[in-house]
Amino acid sequence: MKMNILIITMLALIFSSCSESNGGEEPPEPTHELSVEPTNISAFAEGSESNISIKSNTTWRITYDNSSFFRPSITTAKGDATVKITIDENQQAEERNGTLTIIDSDETLEEIIITINQEAGEEVIDPEIPDYIEPDMTGVESTASELANKMIVGWNIGNSLEVPGGETGWGNPKVSETLIQGVKDAGFNAIRIPCAWDSYLENQEDYTIKESWLQRVKEVVDCCVSRDMYAIINIHWDGGWLEEHPMYEHQDAVNEKQAAIWKQIAKYFRDYNEHLMFAGTNEVRENYGNPSTENIEVQESYVQTFVDAVRATGGRNTYRNLVVQTYNTNIDHGVNYHTMPSDDTENRLIVEAHYYDPYEFTIKTDEGYKTQWGEGYTDVTDWGQEDHLEAQFQKLKTKYIDNNIPVIIGEYSAMLRGDMPADQQALHEASRNYYHQKVNEIAKANGITTFYWDNGYTDKDASGLFNRSTGEQVHTEAIEAIINVYN
């Protein structure tokens, strides 16, 4: 017994001593660490690959100008990593410099700057691309209806290449082959690539597009067509210079710019086969009400300018299938007001409309939104249910498809809601999946091809389906609701 008391007393003294040594406080949290080697990279003119070694015990990210002459292999990770920096060939007769910035995710550490210096090269003068070449039907034999039938089901790379001034500016990583492969593996065989152009112009005098941006769009197109997927590039919102100005006072200036930009795009991508399509505009409107005669006339002039500019470049563009839009890509405005542009090449135009009905369920975020849709659910709108969906798509079939003009729904989706009790969340997600299923079932029944709007963000109030960095499916049941319609 005395021995036990002695042992207990000794242990108490030891714990007391330890407590006194740190003042009775818990040990401090480990501090974040971040270091990089080297912080200066020198490259030859012909280009090279260099590695930087990052040592860290936390999450870090790399930021840089994505129109630069170099690219890191990864832009975010946790812990130690080796990052490969690919440096392009310098075709200019002067050296060039750039920087990468590395910072921890909490931004509690001082940022680390990596400087890249590349020696001057010998300037390469590209041969002049002719404005027009002789028509060539090779690889673009399909009519619009034939091509529409080959596009089984589509998906949008939203909030990426259409971001003014920077592909990653709205929080999504750069589009990668890994992402495109993930989309293909999920069952999609067509991709709509919304694009900005105005913020990538060399100047506003002759509207010359930066070569680096044309190359970047080409990289993404190639990711798609090399996998036997169909791709559509357009002029999206792009700051609103075209999209928000269907008025007489802007008509001449916008058409001048529209023609100049599409001439360059059409020439640059002229040699692609029918796996690549062009779409002239996006949601052109003055407001969200009914259009005036002026609105319709001006909006349709922008579409006509697009068709004329592409056809004027010849080659495969003489026969390339083009996508033209209704006013604000609205179904009723299309049915009530839309006339097709004139085209010297017959049966090569596809009509585009968008579908976000009912607004209160699909994209409304302020007071009054609904979390459910469809028969058997309760928190629904008093309009825009299955009968409305069927009627709207039937209108498109009657006006266009029955007259040998194919139709795509270039955008549709219902955002994911959150912050609900588990049982309500489950009902919402089941209803949301049902909505996507019915949109595709009714579209398929009417011969319409759909393109799901994915904005890249996969949490609440967003419509993302995939992890943009890994290509992995995040909302598998939502994807299956779409894809199973076509299996």
Query: Long-range CB contacts (< 8 A, 24+ apart) of 102-107?
Result: 102/34, 102/36, 102/54, 102/60, 102/61, 102/62, 103/34, 103/60, 103/61, 103/63, 104/32, 104/34, 104/56, 104/58, 104/59, 104/60, 105/58, 105/59, 105/60, 105/61, 105/76, 106/32, 106/58
Which amino acid is it at 319?
Y
Q: What dihedral angle (degrees, nearest 10) is formed by the CA atoms of 422, 428, 432, 435? A: 140
- Options 274, 283, 352, 441, the catalytic residue: 283
Q: How far, CA to CA in Å, does 248 sit from each of 301, 327, 450?
A: 11, 15, 33
3-state secondary structure of 352: strand
Q: How far apart are CA 238 and CA 414, in angstroms?
A: 23
- Options 162, 274, 411, 441, the catalytic residue: 411
Residue 256 among the catalytic residues: no
DSSP type of residue 289 = S
Gyration radius of the chain over CA positions: 28
Which amino acid is it at 467?
N
Residue 202 among the catalytic residues: no
Tokens at residue 142, please? 């399909």
Laid out side by side, the sheet with 59-63 consists of 40-43, 112-118, 96-104, 59-63, 76-78
Tokens at residue 463, please? 């419509």
Which amino acid is it at 381?
T
3-state secondary structure of 310: helix
- What does residue 52 show for φ and ψ, rounded to 5 degrees? -120, 145
* Active-site amino acid positions: 283, 411
